[in-house]
Structure 1
Amino acid sequence: MKEYLIELLNYELWANHRVITALETVSNPPQRAVAVMGHILSAQQVWIGRITNQSVFISIWEDIPVSWMAETADRQHRQVKSYVGGLSEGQLAESIAYKDSKGNSHQTPLVEILTHMSHHAAYHRGQVVQLIRPMLVEAPVTDYIIWSRENQK
């Protein structure tokens, strides 16, 4: 399971970079597209703080300039990949206690949180691509199967 989750994290970084690169090529990207990509990254940082039990001073809708996005994605990927890599298989099934953005307490198995993070990002990447597609010659393809094929070569 751990190796699969690390692969999922690697896929997520690849997909984020494809969308960020597309955003960088648009001379004046729609503010909503920038905000949604920023949300993907800031929500990821919030979740990393929850699973590592570290304080995070960022909101889930933080404004992140496009020029900072690739570096932010890389840094967060290293952080969560290192954390997951240091866990045993059993620890992946353990529940993490945290509070959501409204202050409600929850306990969720780490594997479910990591799965949520990936699905959440994929959902919002689709929104970003939809917003910038008219401004691109070719929209970025971020399908997991494409990443998988590219990584089997």
Structure 2
Amino acid sequence: MKTIQKMYEHLNWANQRILEILQSIEEENQEVSRLFSHILFSEKVWITRLRGLESSELPIWSEVDIEFCAKLVMQNEESLTTFFTNLAHTDMDKIITYTNSKGIKFKNSVRDILIHVALHGQYHRGQINSRLRANGMEPVNIDFITFMR
């Protein structure tokens, strides 16, 4: 449990660092903003599923500006903090049943969902960094060990 909580502290830190760099760019890069909003919308979808609520109508990909992303960063962090505060150790293996955006039902444990969300976001933050570098910008250091330092 401590490891997963640390992964989410890192997730929130990394999202904040990406947000700050995107807010500092004069011209918004549509592709980068789309990837970042995808991370945030996906987090929201999974948080909704973990709460046992219907998520199939929530967007996963959507065109939004950086100000909207800033609101999602804050909302997701608050939601995840509340979720972890209320989560008991025995709940990690609880099976969650949900329907994806294509209408297909799945079942996964809370543990597997939490690990997926953390890894999914890190994958896409890497894509964002790759695109920043391709545009002549310095990538954001979001390495876990940097967070731990």
After TM superposition, the runs of 4+ consecutive aligned structure 1 residues lying more than 3 A away are: none
The alignment of Structure 1 onto Structure 2 pairs a total of residues equal to 147
The change in CA–CA distance for 1:129 and 1:29 in structure 2 (over 3 A counts) is farther
User: 2:82 & 2:136 partners in 1: Cα distance?
Assistant: 36
Q: How does 1:1-153 map to 2 (within 5 A)?
A: 1=1, 3-56=2-55, 57-133=57-133, 134-136=135-137, 138-149=138-149
Shift of 1:135: 4.1
The structure with higher relative contact order (CA 8 Å, sep 6+) is 1
When the two chains are superposed, the root-mean-square deviation of aligned CA atoms in Å is 1.4
State the one-letter code of the partner of 2:146: I
Structure 1 residues 135 and 66, CA gap change in structure 2 (3 angstroms): farther
Match of 1:75, as an amino acid? Answer: Q
How far has the Cα of 1:132 moved from its partner? 1.8
Residue 84 of structure 1 deviates from its aligned partner by: 2.2
Please give the alpha-carbon distance, in whole angstroms, between the structure 2 residues aligned to 1:30 and 1:87. 37
CA–CA distance in structure 1, aligned partners of residues 80 and 13 of structure 2? 15
Structure 1 unaligned blocks of 5 or more: none
1:72 positional shift:
1.4
List alignment gaps of at least 5 residues for structure 2: none
Q: Alignment identity in percent? A: 25
CA distance in 1, matches of 2:72, 2:93: 27
Stretch moving more, 52-61 or 28-37: 52-61
Identify which range, 49-58 or 75-84, moves more after superposition: 49-58
